[in-house]
Amino acid sequence: MKLALFDLDNTLLNGDSDFEWAQFLIGKGVLDREVHEATNITFFEQYKAGTLDIHAFLDFQLAPLARHSRAELDAWHSEFLATRIRPLITPAARALVQQHAASGDLLAIVTATNSFVTGPIAREFNIPHLIATIPAQENGCFTGQPRGMPSFREGKIARVEAWLESIGLWLGSFEQSWFYSDSHNDLPLLEKVTHPVAVDADATLAQVAAERDWLRISLRG
């Protein structure tokens, strides 16, 4: 049995779905450009620098979900997927996923981005399992708060382990396991699999991958 885990933003996608969702809402006039664009950019830079306060970010990211009906949000997301996300999916990314699927591997996306944004993207890739930060709901409406542990840094390990446990497995169940990521924020989970893969890696991850002789690939183009 083999396991293939994929980070999403700047790994399977040639861009960041979190960032793009906020920019999409700004472009539609749902969010105020002057107020939100600078904050969105600041959080994105903090993420890249490894200084992101995930709870402060989630307060910012999830708040718009609570102000609109699910029907309205779903309609916006369909447009977002078509106009902002599909152009960020390269043939190489689709081929990588298909390669693992054809081998019969257990596939999951493991991402810090919330499951409302990323669920349809996982389905676009035909990846059956999604481990993402969960936006809490009450009576079918989002509350603006996360539920449970965010899927971020060490939280990704805890969430993956809980998912595997729920289906009667653990990381040791797999003779081979892969995790594909671009970010040094994912070093904790990369260190847990038998095949860590740096994908179009940031400078910190690229250095670690070179020092540890990890596979380095590009999915761009």
Where in the sequence numbering do the catalytic residues fall? 7, 9
Both tokens of residue 206? 């690229």
Q: How many CA atoms are closer than 13 Å to the CA of 200, on its beta-carbon side?
A: 16
Q: What are phi and psi of 177, to 5 degrees?
A: -140, 140
Both tokens of residue 127? 């990846």
Q: What are phi and psi of 146, to 5 degrees?
A: -80, 160
β partners of residue 197:
180, 215
Longest CA span, the chain? 51
17/73 Cα distance (integer angstroms): 15
Both tokens of residue 39? 């904050």
Q: How many CB atoms lie within 10 A of CB 176?
A: 13
| Residue 21 contacts residue 40 (beta carbons within 8 Å) | no
